[in-house]
């Protein structure tokens, strides 16, 4: 296909595709799917070889959030039967992190539900970061605590945080249909504050909320403009008890097209396959490794993932390798721009520092129901959303919608942080 040849050439040059080209990727047929994956895979290998970075989520505080993000199992009005607990102590969080590090994770993502941290919360998280780094030499730590106030990003950086996650989630045009207690602009400002403090920015999206192709392209182009080092792609986990519980809009094929589009638009960025992969990609997960270069190991914030050893077996069976602790993640030009590295060896022609993301799925991981690392939002009393989620007026939900809802694959986390049971790593 001329389209794919053009996109590969642009990706190898770090040249931005047009919006029309990005939309065309989402519009390709299932017959063309393997060609799309192969093309995006060339771009992925150019910048990241066959390495897969492992990340591990620690949910420092679960539930009890005052925001009304419709996708989130931790929202105030949520009836999802998730674990609810207040802040883990630094030593408890450090023990939870150790399980992920033992499983091969290079980055630990510390997530706490809520609108944003108080100064006391920042002090608490700072002590947790110090405890984790004291026990795990060379480990990267990403914080995901919600909207930041002035000076808080600098304090986290001083405490040893390497990265900060805050996802845009969906397009600016449709953001108000998902969340009303804060704005899209609030999220952008937090990402920019993290960058200004010298933290590696992690910001991504949630797919499957009923958005149109245009919405997906809009949010990915907005992310490209923000220029985070890491872009987590979450697929909505429709938790029962949340407003989007009936939004089963994704097929494995559509998920792969979305990931390919993200890779073409963000060729040299750490694209992370985040929450919801087990629910929506299912047996097609190994194909996604040709598009992304980063995944979460084991469980998410409020939902269970597949067994950590199964993740490791999948990576090996697909012909990929786990990225080692001494290997830099990002291409050298990005690592140098970030001001150093999270590692010293170059594993490919373009290795560099790493960046950092939930998914009930979101960014470092996900909060409740849908996406990357940090507080994904919403806790309000709005329990009803129009059918089709955030699709704009006059726009239809993509034809990939399926009635084959796999509610059997949505499992609430009952082990690890906040419990007496061993974590999954």
Q: What does each C-alpha distance from 118 to 121, 189, 190, 355, 367 come to in angstroms?
A: 5, 17, 14, 25, 19
- In the beta sheet, which residues pair with residue 303? 412
Q: Are 68 and 180 in contact (CB under 8 A)?
A: yes
CA torsion 142-147-150-155 (nearest 10°) is -20
DSSP per-residue letters across 249-293: ---HHHHHHHHHHHHHHSTTSEEEE-TTHHHHTGGGHHHHTTT-S
Cα 80 off chain centre by: 21
Question: Catalytic one among 51, 107, 202, 364?
Answer: 202
State the Cα–Cα distance between residues 390 and 376, nearest whole angstrom. 16
State the Cα–Cα distance between residues 351 and 330, nearest whole angstrom. 5
With a CB cutoff of 8 Å and minimum separation 6, the contacts of 231 are: 202, 203, 204, 205, 220, 223, 262, 266, 269, 270, 271, 272, 357
Question: Catalytic one among 75, 142, 277, 373?
Answer: 142
Identify whether 69 is a catalytic site residue. Answer: yes
Q: Are 366 and 169 in contact (CB under 8 A)?
A: no
With a CB cutoff of 8 Å and minimum separation 6, the contacts of 209 are: 70, 71, 170, 178, 236, 244, 247, 249, 370, 389, 390
Identify whether 272 is a catalytic site residue. Answer: yes
Question: Catalytic one among 44, 50, 51, 72?
Answer: 72
Task: Judge residue 386's burial from the number of C-beta atoms within 10 Å of its C-beta, 0-12 exposed, 13-18 middle, 19 or more buried.
Answer: exposed
Q: Write out the H or E segment, with its range, that includes residue 219.
A: helix 213-226
Which pair of structure tokens corresponds to residue 306?
């597949």
Please report the beta strands in 136-242, taking only residues with DSSP state E, as ranges in sequence order: 140-144, 163-165, 200-202, 205-207, 230-235
Identify whether 109 is a catalytic site residue. Answer: yes
Residue 52 φ/ψ, nearest 5 degrees = -125, 120
Question: Catalytic one among 272, 277, 334, 413?
Answer: 272
Neighbours of 316 (CB within 10 A): 12
Question: Catalytic one among 44, 51, 65, 277?
Answer: 65
> How close are the terminal C-alpha atoms of the chain, in Å?
41
Q: Are 65 and 75 in contact (CB under 8 A)?
A: yes
3-state secondary structure 45-108: HHHHCCEEEEEEEEEEEECCCCCCCCCCCCCCCCCCCCCCECCCCHHHHHHHHHHHHHCCCCEE
Identify whether 142 is a catalytic site residue. Answer: yes
Question: Catalytic one among 44, 51, 69, 157?
Answer: 69
Identify whether 353 is a catalytic site residue. Answer: no
Identify whether 202 is a catalytic site residue. Answer: yes
Q: Which residues are catalytic?
A: 65, 69, 72, 109, 142, 202, 272
């Amino acid at each position: 296909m001329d389209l794919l040849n053009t996109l590969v050439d642009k990706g190898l040059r770090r040249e931005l595709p047009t919006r029309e080209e990005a939309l065309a990727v989402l519009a390709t047929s299932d017959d063309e799917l393997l060609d799309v994956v192969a093309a995006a895979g060339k771009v992925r290998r150019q910048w990241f070889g066959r390495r897969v970075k492992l990340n591990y989520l620690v949910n420092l505080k679960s539930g009890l959030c005052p925001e009304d993000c419709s996708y989130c199992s931790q929202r105030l009005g949520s009836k999802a039967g998730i674990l609810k607990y207040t802040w883990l102590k630094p030593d408890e969080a450090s023990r939870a992190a150790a399980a992920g590090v033992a499983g091969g994770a290079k980055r630990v993502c510390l997530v706490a539900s809520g609108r944003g941290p108080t100064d006391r919360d920042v002090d608490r998280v700072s002590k947790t970061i110090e405890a984790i780094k004291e026990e795990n030499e060379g480990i990267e730590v990403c914080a995901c605590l919600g909207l930041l106030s002035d000076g808080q990003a600098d304090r986290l950086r001083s405490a040893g945080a390497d990265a900060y996650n805050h996802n845009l989630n969906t397009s600016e045009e449709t953001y108000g249909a998902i969340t009303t207690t804060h704005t899209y602009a609030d999220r952008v400002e937090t990402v920019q504050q993290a960058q200004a403090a010298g933290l590696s920015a992690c910001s991504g999206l949630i797919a499957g909320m009923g958005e149109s192709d245009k919405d997906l392209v809009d949010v990915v182009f907005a992310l490209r403009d923000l220029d985070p080092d890491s872009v987590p792609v979450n697929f909505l986990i429709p938790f029962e008890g949340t407003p989007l519980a009936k939004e089963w809009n994704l097929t494995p094929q559509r998920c792969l097209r979305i990931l390919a589009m993200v890779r073409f638009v963000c060729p040299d960025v750490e694209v992370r396959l985040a929450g919801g992969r087990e629910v929506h990609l299912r047996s097609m997960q190994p194909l996604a490794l040709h598009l992304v270069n980063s995944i979460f190991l084991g469980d998410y914030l409020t939902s269970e993932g597949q067994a950590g050893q199964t993740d490791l077996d999948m990576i090996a069976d697909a012909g990929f390798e786990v990225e080692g602790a001494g290997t830099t993640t990002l291409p050298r030009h990005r690592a140098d721009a970030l001001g150093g590295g999270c590692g010293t060896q170059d594993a490919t022609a373009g290795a560099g520092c790493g960046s950092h993301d939930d998914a009930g799925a979101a960014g470092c991981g996900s909060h409740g129901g849908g996406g990357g690392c940090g507080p994904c939002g919403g806790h309000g009393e709005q329990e009803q959303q129009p059918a089709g989620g955030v699709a704009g007026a006059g726009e239809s939900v993509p034809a990939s919608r399926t009635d084959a809802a796999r509610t059997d694959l949505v499992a609430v986390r009952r082990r690890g942080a906040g419990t007496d049971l061993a974590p999954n790593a």
